[in-house]
Structure 1
């Protein structure tokens, strides 16, 4: 139970810092589990999710061996960048939550940058 509380505390600490430096930019929030990875574009001012992508999406899932590797994270990063462009978003602030910027989280971020998102 303490591990869950520590994780939530870390995530809140990251989001508090992001609110200070982000201005009114859209937030690219990343969540990973042992089997999948998820990304959302969130407008905190309006409280709306503009776009989302995950390894559970049908168009992503068919091409992947598993949803829990760097290739899957990169595929999600490319798709979220495409959906961001359709939504008219080019600059975001990256919210890694309680996860360190390493491995799958970094692969998703790098693919989103290659897809045209700036952060």
Structure 2
């Protein structure tokens, strides 16, 4: 099966929310592709719960990262974004992060 050569791009009106998931952590970045600039970044590496750093990012951690990204977006006046999950399937931690951002007020 051949992969489609499509690229998701964000702009100043609708920046791109790029989500990357590794085996241990999850990362989310808000990117303005017109200026090639990262506006907001949150990850499970920087998130601490009760002064303990996260050893492994699960769905609960992904929900917290989605909520933190949405709050940071709303603080900067960003209400609409384009969602970019890379080549990962929309389930598990990626889905938890996206649904958490939506419920916090961000429109995809």
Unaligned runs of 5+ in 2: none
Which residue does the alignment assign to 1:72? Answer: 61
Give the Cα separation in 1 of the matches to 2:54 and 2:28: 19
Match of 1:44 among 30, 33, 38: 33
In structure 2, the CA distance between the partners of 1:100 and 1:85, relative to structure 1 (3 Å rule), is same
Cα drift, residue 62 of structure 1: 2.0
Q: How many residues align?
A: 104
Return structure 1 stretches of 4+ with deviation > 4 angstroms: 63-66
Q: Does 1:81 align with 2:64?
A: no
* TM-score of the pair, normalised by structure 2: 0.85
SS of the equivalent of 2:30 reads strand
In structure 2, the CA distance between the partners of 1:65 and 1:26, relative to structure 1 (3 Å rule), is closer
Give the Cα separation in 2 of the matches to 1:34 and 1:80: 21
Which residue does the alignment assign to 1:5? Answer: none
Which residue does the alignment assign to 2:89? Answer: 100
